[in-house]
């Protein structure tokens, strides 16, 4: 395999990981709207605004449930 091909493949993998950071954050934090974050990230994450909105939704504070 050519070194350039390996570098391109590694770059694509890193780009995909960075692209889906909001979805990973949402699922790892267990936010209630994690499905919305994933859909927004998937379809509008390519725009900087969509990615930032998805990250903001994923990072918002979660409400603690009462133990009644």
Q: Can you tell me the distance from the alpha carbon of 45 to that of 37, in angstroms, rounded to the nearest whole number?
A: 10
Which candidate, 42, 17, 15, 37, places its Cα nearest to that of 26? 37
Q: Can you tell me the distance from the alpha carbon of 9 to that of 30, in angstroms, rounded to the nearest whole number?
A: 31
Q: Where are the domains of the chain?
A: 3-59
For residue range 2-57, what is the model confidence (pLDDT) as tens digits? 899 999 999 999 999 999 999 999 999 989 899 999 999 999 999 999 999 999 99
Q: What are phi and psi of 52, to 5 degrees?
A: -65, -40
For residue range 10-23, what is the model confidence (pLDDT) as tens digits? 999 999 999 999 99
């Amino acid at each position: 395999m050519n070194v350039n091909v390996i570098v391109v493949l590694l770059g694509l993998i890193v780009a995909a990981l960075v692209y889906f950071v909001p979805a990973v954050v949402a699922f790892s934090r267990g936010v209630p709207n994690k499905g919305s974050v994933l859909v927004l990230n998937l379809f509008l994450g390519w725009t900087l605004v969509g990615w930032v909105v998805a990250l903001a939704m994923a990072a918002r504070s979660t409400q603690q449930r009462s133990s009644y």
